[in-house]
Structures are given as C-alpha cells and as structure tokens.
Chains A and B, each alone.
Chain A
Amino acid sequence: MTHKELIAEMAQRLGFTQSKVSDLLDATVGELNEKLSENTQILIPHFGVFETRKRSERISVNPQTQQRFLVPPSVVAIFKPALGIKEQLKTMEDDGK
C-alpha cells in the first residue's frame, strides 16, 4: 500500500477529505520524525515502539575483495513491533499453509 492508497483508505473510513488526511499524515510523520531525531521513544499500544539506537563503529570486510572498511558510528531509527502483533503476523503464514 502506497502513501496515496493509505490516504484514500483513511479518508474513506474517517469521513475526512483526502487533503485533510494528507495534512494530518504529514503532520504525524513530521512529529514522529522530530521526536525520533530527539532520541525520544514513541510507544504505540498494540503496535510497537519507535526508537533510535546508536550503532558503534565497526570494520566491515567485503568477503569478495577482502577490502576493509571502517564504518563510522551512526544513529538508526528502529521499530520494535509489540508482542501481540508479532505473534499474530508470525502465525499468519502457517495458517495459510
């Protein structure tokens, strides 16, 4: 589902106009991004947690060329799905089989 489809679906369900949903979604993303860039954890019940984590520097070796790279430390945004949703999606495939 793309950004547009998401907006269309939400507009339909909420009874909002698409432009309103689009604005709200932009604001949400802006807010989430801002909070994440301040290293704030965002807890969404029954969905999961957005947070940032620091990856320390490491040397990575390309096994083909044996070239060694010093990869600098970085901060990455991560999402940890809530347990419930994780289990639900995990078993989904099994049901289908």
Chain B
Amino acid sequence: MENRITLANLADLLAKRANVSGTESEAFLKLLFELIKETLSGDEAVRIKDFGTFKLVPIQARESVDVNSGEKIEIPAHNRLSFFPATTLKELVNKPFSHFESILLNEGVTFEGVEEVVEDEERKAVSTEEHTEKMEPCPKIFRPDKIFPDNTPKRSRISPVWIPIFGGVAIAVASLFFFFQRQAENLPATITENHPVRENLLHFEAPAAERIEEPTTRIERIVVREGKTLRIIAEEKFGSREFWVYIYLKNRDKIKNPNVVAVGTELLIPDLSEYDIDASDSQSIAKAKALGDDLL
C-alpha cells in the first residue's frame, strides 16, 4: 500500500535525509525503538523532542460488563503504553483543520448528527484548557516555520519541568499580543466613522433606528485572526453564522470581498439592536440569510 511504510522504508528515507549509510540508519532506528521499549519497561517515560512522549499509564481495575453475555466482569489493573504527540506533531497533522476553533454554543442551538458528549473527569482538564485558550486575547497563529521549540503536552498532569516552559510560552504569547495591539493602533482612525451604506441600511432594516443610542459607545472591535471568517465571528458573537452579513455591512469600507478578510483587519462588531440581531428568532436569521445571499 502506498500509504504505509515499514521500518525498512523508514531506514532508507533516514539514510538519504541524514546522509548516512543504510546499515547505520537501520541500526540506529532499531536501537532507538529498542531503547524506548527498554526504558518503558523500567517504568520511565521517554520524551522525544518535537515528536512526543511515550509513557505507561496505570489503569485501575474496574468493573465492566461483557458486551456479549451481559455478565459483570472485572478488568484487572494494568499498564497501558500511551503516546502523547508533541505540539509540533499535533499541529503538523492537524494542519488541514487548524483554522477551526471550539465554539461556545448558545442555548437551544443543536446540530443534527453531531454527537453530544458530557465531558468525563479525564477530559475535563483538556476542555478547561481549551476554554482558557479561547479567552486568551492574543492571536494564536500557526506558523510552521516558527513552532515553539519545546513539546508542551496539553494535559493538566504536568511535571514541574514544564512550568518554566509554560512560562516561556506565555511570555511569547503576550509579546505577540502587544505587537498586534500596536499594529492595531497604527491603523487609520477612520473606524468610528459610520459608513453611508450602513446609514441607509439602518432605515431600511430597522425602522426603530432613532431609538438607538450613540452607537460608538457600545461598539465592540475585534481584530481578525488567522483562520477566522466573518461567519465564524458572527457565530461567536451573535450565535448564528447568518449574521455575518451585518459585520460585513458595518465594515464595508475595509472588506472588499466578504469571503476573504485579511488577517489583522480591525472589525467593528455591530450592536445587536442595530440590525435587529436575534439568534433565537428564526425570522431574524432568515432575513440575514436573504440579505447575505443578495450580496454575494
């Protein structure tokens, strides 16, 4: 099969890549995996930079039910060999999906055919971290050429060794954030101006426009990050993707093509009342959708 290679293929590839003889590369690989096995037998974890960590995870004895007979059986305590990929590897394999992010769903929003999982104890740690990650104000940009040099496992079970590394990552993240803030400040100060098109739309869309207080005081601004689209932003801010059209209208002077928004563009997020945005109202969504289809 083309999509499958063995140790021998790997040895060849390695010989070419590292410019060594085939025998040497094969001996190297054999010893490498042998040594990992040996170390694991001594109940010690093996960490390989940029690749991942092999370690034994003790599994406690637990009761289970035989799927065939329905009888209760006990699974004895044992060790399981687990591999935790390093961040580098994780990002590398997940590249096709790297632009997706976890989205907080509003009440009543459901998706057909998507499994709903209540997080168990083990997963909770991961999800809390996802959550904090979401709230980080800084743009998390994936750059293959500048990957953090250390593999930081996304688990809460961290040995003390990781703490300085996390610290380093946090500093890097913070400096990125300030860098982007500075950039945002350098943008021309035209952002608070109301675009005429939007004005027209106000009357067309929302007859109650006069009720709206000074919009500038309540306007939220966000800077477009890598992998974000208007739809994703709308989903996050308003609870439905269809409302992207209002973000587009609000920022028409900055967006040429609503399908392509440059990273770093500062967008004004319109107030909910300004365009009659209500994710729980299907009419409101339908209206936005129709308007969006018109514009595209």
Contacts and interface: CB of A to CB of B under 8 A. Distances in A.
A23 B25 CA distance: 11
Contacts, number: 209
Given A33-B92, A47-B37, A58 B115 contact: yes
A24 B25 contact: yes
Contacts of A75: 93-97
A73 B25 contact: no
A67 B131 CA distance: 10
Contacts of A67: 104, 131
Contacts of B105: 59, 68-70
Contacts of B100: 72-74
Contacts of B216: none
B52 A6 contact: no
Given A44-B33, A93-B79, A24 B116 contact: no
Nearest to A84: B37
A79 to B, nearest CB: 3
A3 B4 contact: no
A58 B10 contact: no
B103 A69 contact: yes
A74 B94 contact: yes
Nearest to B78: A90
B85 interface: yes
B250 to A, nearest CB: 25
A40 B3 contact: yes
A78 B89 CA distance: 11
A58 B47 contact: no
B26 to A, nearest CB: 11
A40 B4 contact: yes
Among B35, B37, B47, B96: residue with most chain A CB under 10 A: B37
B111 A79 contact: no
Main secondary structure of the interface of B (DSSP, over half): mixed
Size category, B interface? 35 or more
Given A31-B17, A73-B97, A77-B90, A3 B48 contact: yes
Interface string B189-226: 00000000000000000000000000000000000000
A68 B40 contact: no
Nearest to A31: B13
A59 B108 CA distance: 13
A52 B3 CA distance: 11
A52 B18 CA distance: 25
B45 interface: yes
B39 to A, nearest CB: 5
Contacts of B49: 3, 29
Interface string B1-38: 10111110010011001101000010111011101110
Interface stretch (B117-125, B251-259, B268-276, B284-292): B117-125
Contact of B93 (A13, A45, A71, A76): A76
A24 B93 contact: no
8 contacts: A9-B35, A28-B32, A33-B50, A50-B83, A57-B114, A75-B96, A85-B37, A91-B78
Interface of B: 1, 3-7, 10, 13-14, 17-18, 20, 25, 27-29, 31-33, 35-37, 39-41, 43-52, 54, 56, 58, 76-83, 85, 88-90, 92-97, 100-105, 109, 111, 114-119, 123-124, 127-128, 130-131
